[in-house]
Amino acid sequence: MTPLDEITAAIRTVLADTGRSAPDIAPGRLLTADLGLDSLDLAQTIVLLERSLGIDPFRQAAAVENRPTIRTVADLVAIYTSALSSPPSQTP
Amino acid sequence: MTTAANATTIAHLADAPPEDRLASAVGLVARQFPDRTAIVAEAGGDARRVIDYATLAAAIAKLEAEVAAARPVGIVARARRVESLAVIAAACGREHVPVAFLAEDARDLVGELRDWVVLDDSLALPAAAAPRREFETVPPQVVVATSGTSGPPKLVEHSWDSLLAAARLAEQWHGRGWLLVYDATRWAGLQVWLQALLTAGRVVVPVSRDPDIVARACVDEDVSILPATPTLLRRLITSGDRGLVTRMPLDRITLGGEAADAPLLARAAELFPAAKIGHVYATTELGEVFRVGDGRAGFPAEWIGRQLPGGARLSLRRDGELLVQLSRDTAEVATGDLVERRGNRFEFTGRRSDVIVVGGAKVFPRRVEEILRGVPGIADARVYGLPSAITGELVAAEIVAHDPLPAGTTPDQVRSAALAVCRERLEAHAVPRVVDVVKMLTTTAAGKIPRR
């Protein structure tokens, strides 16, 4: 599965777990305005992704300091794609 | 039923110096009933071992002589077998040599015990690097490591007097079978095997904590006294083979290590109508503070501010943390346990360090667990905090589904039902965000629920 597939699946689980129906989850969708995700939902998404992808790009100190704005599904995909392609040990 | 070893003599053990009592008790029983079983180890397994009092007494006498000759500064008991721990404790007490019991997770602390010699199951005493000169003048002591439930393990020094303060020598306690599910090197475990061996009883150590093994060991080895954490008892009740569990010949269940909740106490009373069920409030640092024997959760509200039978005084901090003052001339100690008044009782709401903070809001995991355990299809639950870069922590849960589940019900449906009930009864931040259906809950070496 691609990062987009994993992210889509995670968001679906979050919405289902919280008793909400899953709208169309496309890369251009806004996480808050379109999908209705709050910070708890995002935190859960990240935990689910850590389980499926084996990484949590938000836990690394550098990532927290220069955390890019996460507004859309595509923003999330970019963060995970970049984290997956650069092993964390190479961070200076 | 075998005659108890001379009851009056055992009762008179209390007159002996506390450090002598273990060796004296074992010697006493060994003389009168040499074949009597002292320890059943690995009960329920292929390697089941039975150690009688004569064997135990002989090993104590042998080690005692070696310790007297070597005069070590102190002895670290690094043995795994209960019989070895008992032999080391008895010989050290007799010879006034300090002894330390270090649980697996506290082994690094051995560095704090400089020049002490380490003794394992071989009971072969290495030559002491620095023998003690003034052999008789050092007060005998016992060093125990805390369980590290809240914070890293640390060493706590006790006198033999405080170690044995809770042991009951009266005749009703003689010759009984005691189940040891606790780690034998920790405070709670030490209390169990010391109590059993001081009163001509049997220590029964099951080969594992698997509920069926534990139940089987109790039935086969005639265990009548079960000291356990609420977590272990709950596991036995919810996952053990019902036919086996109800045949356990228990007449006493003593819960400790965690708060015992009302539903568990009620369930246990129903399953074991012949057993007296109580709970003990004790910590490695303080020892036993009080016992509650009325079968209800928490303790009577009027105990706050009053001196208890054991001499301790309880008080409360403004935020509900329980404070204990052991005696008039000792300082008040903050226990880290939070209590809340419900009617004429104070009930435990959890440990301060257990509180999960989600985006600045507090969640008491015990409350979430109680709700989960009430969901149809759920046998048991553990709630803990997961670190999160977004909200600080996130509430997570493990649930054990009833086995078997009602026909047509899937574990996934139980999980969804659990979430639905939590959403209805809890604030949004307290609803578990990660819920796993597991066969058995994760527990610590001490048999408690880990919260992180």
Burial (0-12, 13-18, 19+ Cβ within 10 Å), A54: exposed
Q: How far apart are CA B163 and CA B187, in angstroms?
A: 8
The minimum CA-CA distance between B278 and chain A, rounded to whole Å, is: 39
Answer whether B390 sits within 8 Å of A46, measured CB to CB: yes
With the CA atoms of B136, B141, B142 and B144 taken in that order, what torsion angle do they form, in degrees rounded to the nearest 10?
A: -130
Chain A to chain B Cβ contacts (< 8 Å)? 46
| Separation of alpha carbons B16 and B169, rounded Å | 12
Domain boundaries, chain A: 3-86
Q: Which residues of A make CB contacts under 8 Å with B?
A: 17-19, 39-40, 42-44, 46-48, 56, 58-59, 63-64
Closest chain B residue to the Cα of A14, Cα to Cα:
B433
Q: Round to whole Å and give the CA distance between B81 and B187.
A: 16
| CA dist., res. B278 & res. B79, Å (int) | 31
Instruction: Quote the CA–CA distance of B424 and B52 in Å, as a whole number.
Output: 57
Q: Does B389 touch chain A (CB under 8 A)?
A: yes
Say which of B389, B423, B428 has its CB closest to residue A40.
B428
| pLDDT of the residue at A89 | 53
Could you tell me the pLDDT band of residue B138, with boundaries at 50, 70 and 90?
low
The single residue listed with the structure tokens 């020049």 is: B115
* Contact call for B391 and A19, based on CB within 8 A: no
Strands B99-101 and B49-52: unpaired
The region that residue B80 occupies, defined by phi over 0 for left and psi between -120 and 50 for alpha, beta otherwise, is alpha
Sign of the alpha-carbon dihedral angle for B319, B327, B289, B40 = positive
State how far the Cα of A4 lies from the Cα of B420, in Å rounded to an integer: 28
> Which residues from chain B sit within 8 angstroms of residue A68, using beta carbons?
none
Q: Which amino acid is at B326?
A: L
- Stretch B172-182: mean pLDDT, rounded? 95
> What is the separation of C-alpha B266 from the centre of its chain, rounded to a whole number of angstroms?
21
Question: What mean pLDDT is predicted for residues B186-192?
Answer: 94
Residue A18 has pLDDT above 70, yes or no: yes
**Phi, psi of B154, deg, nearest 5:** -140, 160
- Picking from A41, A44, A46 by the largest number of B CB atoms within 10 A of its own CB, the best residue to mutate is A44
In eight-state DSSP terms, residue A91 is -
- Would you give the end-to-end CA distance of chain A in angstroms? 30
Contact B10, B174 (CB under 8 A): yes
* ipTM field: 0.89
Two tokens, residue B175: 């010759």
Spatial contact of B122 and B78, defined as CB atoms under 8 Å apart: no
In chain B, what is the greatest distance between 2 CA atoms, to the nearest angstrom?
Answer: 74
Q: For residue B232, name the pLDDT band (cuts at 50, 70, 90).
A: very high
pLDDT at B407: 84
Q: Is the pLDDT of residue B368 over 80?
A: yes
Mark yes or no for CB contact B389/A47 under 8 Å: no
Which of A17, A58, A65 to substitute to test the interface with B, most B CBs within 10 Å? A17
Provide the mean pLDDT of chain B: 91
Architecture of the domain defined by A3-86:
Orthogonal Bundle (1.10)
Q: pLDDT tens-digit profile of B401-437? A: 998 888 888 999 999 999 999 999 999 999 999 999 9
Q: Which residues of B touch A47 (CB under 8 A)?
A: 386, 388, 394, 396, 433-434
- The residue of chain A nearest to residue B436, with distances taken between CA atoms, is A48
Distance from C-alpha of B178 to C-alpha of B204, rounded to nearest angstrom: 6
Could you tell me which chain A residue has the CA closest to the CA of B418? A17
**pLDDT, tens only, A35-75:** 999 999 999 999 999 999 999 988 765 555 566 678 999 99
Q: Which domains does chain B have, with CATH numbers?
A: 7-163 (3.40.50.980), 208-352 (3.40.50.12780), 355-438 (3.30.300.30)
pLDDT tens readout for residues B327-349 = 888 899 999 999 999 999 999 99
pLDDT reading at B137 higher than 90? no
How many C-beta atoms lie closer than 10 Å to residue A18's C-beta? 18
Please, what's the b/e burial string for B64-84 (b: 16 or more CB within 10 A of its CB; e: otherwise)? beebeebebbbbbbbbebbbb
Residue-wise pLDDT for B53-111, tens only, equals: 999 999 999 999 999 999 898 999 999 999 999 999 999 999 999 999 988 888 888 88
Of B43-52, B277-286, B391-400, least confident by mean pLDDT is B277-286
Q: What CA–CA distance (Å, rounded) separates A18 from B196?
A: 51
Place of tokens 């346990």: B337
Segment (H or E) for B365: helix B365-373
Whole-angstrom distance, CA of residue B52 vs CA of residue B26: 10
